Amino acid sequence: MTLDMSIFGFEFMQRAFISALAVGLCAPAVGVFLVQKRLALIGDGLGHIALTGVAIGFLTGGAPLWTTLATTVAASVVMELLRSHSKTSGDVALAMMFYGGIAGGVYLTGIASDKGVANLQQYLFGSLLTAGWDEVVTIAVGGAAVALLMLVLRPWMSAIATDEQYARVAGLPVAGLNLMLLMTTAVVVSVSMRAVGLLLVSALLVIPVVTVQQFTRSFRATMYGGMAAGFLIAGAGVLASAVQDVPPGATIVLIGVACFVATATAAAVVRRVRRTWRRHPPPEGEPLEVELPAGPVDGPQAAPKG
């Protein structure tokens, strides 16, 4: 198959390519901490809330980008307060975001009836090919700011994501850093969802990170590797979709999922091989804490208990 580069003669194609690459590079920089905190679905949750923000934009005549940003940031603050100050568990809070966000979006667009729900769908799946240059700039600037912040704060962010209790005792500003993590997620979701779609942006937060972590040993390598993988997956997705004339968002996500399945399978095979050949010094054996019965044991009781 030869790749026809003439598609890049179209300006809409250039815009789509740049937007996808920017989101692919920046989203995993935030996503690595979300995966570590077991909040992989939070991007999707904030994306649902963002639908309500878009509808508020329709209703008030304000620019959807800013109403979306305000709504998702506010939601992330409420989410963090719920998580830290009440007995609401993370997944319950997430469920409320999913249901409430969608319902709010549909309800409010219903009130602003001239726009219609069809317009909302554009945000759900994105329309990479209709993005204007100003949107590309917003994505690039917002993404770069978020990625830079996460790169600079990586040791602190990874400390609160790995072991929040230890981070508290180490005197780190845990509440502030947690809030910042959710707010940067909100920024990534809201600046990029109009162009690349809610489905795609939340997938790009998570998939590149879980793909590279099959092979990495350090947090730093996972973060940089995730950003590189996101960049490559997004780029490959746009190219493939242009060749086949299919929606780019879905193509990018499918390529990402395929990469994850492939690396997860390969990693399982490699782990099996490494069991006989290890790169690092093997852990010294820990003595059994139970006394094994001496001599041959007959019957089914030979199976170890506990």
Partner 1 sequence: MPVIATYDATVSYGGRAVVRGVDLAVEPGEAVALMGANGSGKSTLVKAVVGLAPLAAGGIELFGVPQRRFRNWKRVGYVPQRTGAASGVPATAAEVVAQGRLAHRFLGLPPNRSDRAAVTRSLDEVGLADHAHCAVDTLSGGQQQRVLIARALATEPDVLIMDEPTVGVDAATQAALAEVVAARVDAGCAVLLVTHELGPLTDRLDRAVVLADGRVVHDGAPPRPVGEHADPRHQHAHPHANGDSDDFWGGK
Q: Which residues bind partner 1 (CB under 8 A)?
A: 32, 35-36, 38, 152-153, 155-156, 158-159, 161-163, 165-173, 209, 213, 216-220, 222, 280-281, 283-287, 289-291, 305-306
Nearest approach, Cβ of residue 82 and partner 1 (Å): 19
Which is nearer to partner 1, 93 or 210 (by Cβ)? Answer: 210
Which is nearer to partner 1, 140 or 180 (by Cβ)? Answer: 180
Which is nearer to partner 1, 13 or 209 (by Cβ)? Answer: 209
Nearest approach, Cβ of residue 290 and partner 1 (Å): 5
State how far the alpha carbon of 226 is from the alpha carbons of 30, 203, 205, 230, in Å: 10, 12, 9, 6
Nearest approach, Cβ of residue 76 and partner 1 (Å): 20
Nearest approach, Cβ of residue 165 and partner 1 (Å): 5
Nearest approach, Cβ of residue 34 and partner 1 (Å): 10
Which is nearer to partner 1, 169 or 269 (by Cβ)? Answer: 169
Nearest approach, Cβ of residue 85 and partner 1 (Å): 12
Which is nearer to partner 1, 115 or 220 (by Cβ)? Answer: 220
Which is nearer to partner 1, 17 or 33 (by Cβ)? Answer: 33
Distance of CA 224 to the CA centre of its chain: 14
Q: Which two tokens stand for residue 191?
A: 């600046």
> How many angstroms separate the CA atoms of 265 and 6, rounded?
36
Which residue's structure tokens are 């003439």?
Answer: 6
Nearest approach, Cβ of residue 306 and partner 1 (Å): 4
In this structure, how many other beta carbons lie within 10 angstroms of the beta carbon of residue 274? 11
Would you give the end-to-end CA distance of the chain in angstroms? 58
Which is nearer to partner 1, 9 or 281 (by Cβ)? Answer: 281
Cβ neighbours of residue 193 closer than 8 Å, sequence gap 6 or more = 47, 50, 68, 123, 126, 201
Q: Are 230 and 162 in contact (CB under 8 A)?
A: no
